[in-house]
Amino acid sequence: MRYTGPKFKLCRREQVDLFWSKKYNVKKNRSLPGQHGANMQRSSEYGKLLRNKQVLKRMYMLSERQFVRIVRDIAAKYAKNKNITHDTALFQFLERRMDSTVYRSGLAKTMMQARQMVNHGHFLLNGKKHNIPSSFVCIGDKISLKEKLKNSTLYSQNSADMKGKIPSWVKLDKAANAVEILSDPQVGEIGIPADLLKVIEFYARA
């Protein structure tokens, strides 16, 4: 099941901002959560693998079931068929999710907000209503805001706040609040505080 508890607690546990929001600034509280948080150790190899897995899963707000399916099944099969590395395929599928794309385009300030917007049916995918955050977009796909929402100050403000931060694989038409997928997501273009190879190794050991 997806975690629904205090989000700052997760950020403190991993010592990173998992939700790309200034609201969760771990620098203000570096102690780990729990009664014995200050004494918790992370030196074991398994512990390092686990922490990387948890960071990546929580950053994209996925349940364990969703995440393991992407790592073990979808990305692994795609990597083999396309002759690319497993970690590259994993990154691409995490970033090709509908909610991830909406967030990266600047139409949402956080991944949480992007998921909510998609769930509420704010967008069209290739001209058709679409409200499934977990669906994967492809090169050439176009995501557009519903006509009745195009004058919303929420979307104009969000896109303005993301100036200069939109990745190369996403093209945003600010005037129309529309997004086009130009290419596959590129590993390294966006900083992620998790080692993708350690995540894959974690599931390989399981």
Question: Is 69 within a domain?
Answer: yes
Helices (H), the chain: 7-14, 45-59, 64-68, 76-82, 86-95, 98-105, 111-119, 153-161, 196-205
Count the domains in the chain. Answer: 2
Q: Residue 151 belongs to what domain range?
A: 97-181
Task: Indicate if 60 and 24 belong to the same structural domain.
Answer: yes
Task: Indicate if 199 and 167 belong to the same structural domain.
Answer: no
Task: Indicate if 140 and 161 belong to the same structural domain.
Answer: yes
3-state secondary structure 49-104: HHHHHHHHHHHCCCCHHHHHHHHHHHHHHHHHHHCCCHHHHHHHHHHCEHHHHHHH
Task: Indicate if 52 and 124 belong to the same structural domain.
Answer: no
The whole-number pLDDT of residue 4 equals 61
Question: What tens digit of pLDDT does each residue of 78-128 get?
Answer: 999 999 999 999 999 999 999 999 999 999 988 889 999 999 999 999 999
Question: Is 2 within a domain?
Answer: no
Please check whether residue 121 is in contact with residue 132, taking contact to mean a CB–CB distance below 8 angstroms: no
Task: Indicate if 89 and 102 belong to the same structural domain.
Answer: no
Residue 68, domain CATH: 1.10.1050.10
Task: Indicate if 114 and 174 belong to the same structural domain.
Answer: yes
Question: Is 152 within a domain?
Answer: yes
Task: Indicate if 48 and 14 belong to the same structural domain.
Answer: yes
Task: Indicate if 102 and 62 belong to the same structural domain.
Answer: no
Question: Is 1 within a domain?
Answer: no
Q: Tell whether the model's pLDDT for residue 13 goes beyond 60.
A: yes
How remote is the C-alpha of 120 from its chain's centroid? 18
The amino acid that residue 175 corresponds to is: A
Task: Indicate if 54 and 101 belong to the same structural domain.
Answer: no
Question: Is 186 within a domain?
Answer: no
Question: What tens digit of pLDDT does each residue of 124-182 get?
Answer: 999 999 999 999 999 999 999 999 998 888 877 766 565 558 999 999 998 889 999 99
Task: Indicate if 87 and 109 belong to the same structural domain.
Answer: no
Residue 159, domain CATH: 3.10.290.10
Residue 2 backbone dihedrals phi, psi, to 5 degrees: -75, 140
Task: Indicate if 113 and 82 belong to the same structural domain.
Answer: no
DSSP 8-state class, residue 44? S
Question: Is 200 within a domain?
Answer: yes
Question: Is 39 within a domain?
Answer: yes
The whole-number pLDDT of residue 38 equals 46
Task: Indicate if 87 and 104 belong to the same structural domain.
Answer: no
